[in-house]
Every structure is written in C-alpha cells, then in structure tokens.
Amino acid sequence: MRVTLTVGTFTRILPEESTIGGVCIPKDTQVFADIYGIGLNENYWRDPLEFIPERWESRKEIDPFSFIPFGTGPRMCVGRRIAEAQMQLITAHLCSSYKLHLVKEPDPKFEVLIKPEGLNLSFEKRV
Ligand code: HEM
C-alpha cells in the first residue's frame, strides 16, 4: 500500500493561513496530500522502490506521516479496518490455494483511484 496504492491523494481546506514547507498559503485554500509521493520519498524511505519487508519490523523508525494510505486525522478512512481485514483474508485464501505468477508488469493509471491496468497474473493450483 506504499508503492502500489489505490488512493493517491486526499484534500483539506486550510481553516487559517498556514506556512507549509516555507510557503505561506492563504486561509480557505484546498491543499492536496500527496500520499503516493510521500511513500516514494527518499527522505523517509531508504531505497523506496526496493522490496525490503524488514523495514516494517521496527515501526519506530518509520515516520507515522510517511505512510498514510488511509489518510490521517479525524477524517481518515472509516473503512480502514474492514479493508485491511478483507485484503488479508483474500491474500491468505489465494496464496494458500494458488501460486501467483506475474505475467506482465502492471501499468498503473492515475485517475481518482490508481488502477493497475494491464495487471496480468496466472494462477497455478497448489497440490
Ligand atoms: C484499500 C481500501 C481503501 C483505501 C486505500 C481507502 C482510502 C481512503 C482515504 C485516503 C480516505 C481519505 C482520508 C482523509 O481525508 O484523511 C478515505 C476516506 C473514506 N473512506 Fe476509505 N479507503 C479504503 C476502503 C474503504 C472502505 C472499505 C470503506 C467503507 C466500508 C471506506 C470508507 C471511507 C469513507 C466513508 C471515507 C470518508 C471519511 C470522512 O470523510 O470522514 N473506505 N479512504
């Protein structure tokens, strides 16, 4: 959900004039949080495109605002727990019954959601 995520951004309207990253932004401006960009930012992630599962072992080393696929704060996704449970159940069921092979690299399309167009998998039944 850091590199191949589905929701790439969320928005907020600033309730007051704010300075973000040294830039003064007027009250009532709509700002976008770049979830996708933060997840690939080398200031927060060593070798961001590398598959390093161990990086998650010590959550203390991860800035909590560098991984926000469900947003953050009082308006964060209300479906987070159900979505996480569904993904874990589906992944466990699929992987216990099939070996999955990537046939063709996905070619993500950025719309409101990021869709993995061209994601081709083959399923090999486990014996
Ligand atoms: C992988 C699945 C999902 C992802 C990545 C996701 C991501 C997000 C994100 C980024 C936001 C904006 C949060 C913010 O502004 O801080 C959001 C809001 C929301 N999500 Fe999800 N979501 C997922 C699944 C679901 C599901 C399964 C439900 C319902 C069962 C759901 C219901 C909502 C609702 C109602 C909001 C608006 C919350 C508010 O404005 O107070 N989402 N989601």
| For ligand 1, mutation pick of 70, 86, 88, 113 (most atoms within 8 Å of CB) | 70
Given a cut of 80, is residue 118 above it in pLDDT? no
Q: What is the pLDDT of residues 53-111, one digit of tens each?
A: 999 998 788 999 999 999 999 999 999 999 999 999 999 999 999 999 999 888 888 88
- Ligand 1: centre distance to CA 75 (Å): 9
In ligand 1, the atom with minimum distance to the C-alpha of 11 is 15
**Residue 27 pLDDT:** 97
- Count CB-CB contacts under 10 A for residue 66: 14
**Residue 78 pLDDT:** 97
Q: Which two tokens stand for residue 121?
A: 């998998």
- The single residue listed with the structure tokens 């409101």 is 112
- The single residue listed with the structure tokens 């964060």 is 76
Distance CA 1, CA 81 (A): 14
Distance CA 101, CA 25 (A): 47
List the alpha helices (DSSP H) in the chain.
Answer: 35-39, 80-97
Given a cut of 80, is residue 17 above it in pLDDT? yes
* pLDDT level of residue 124 (50, 70, 90 thresholds): very high
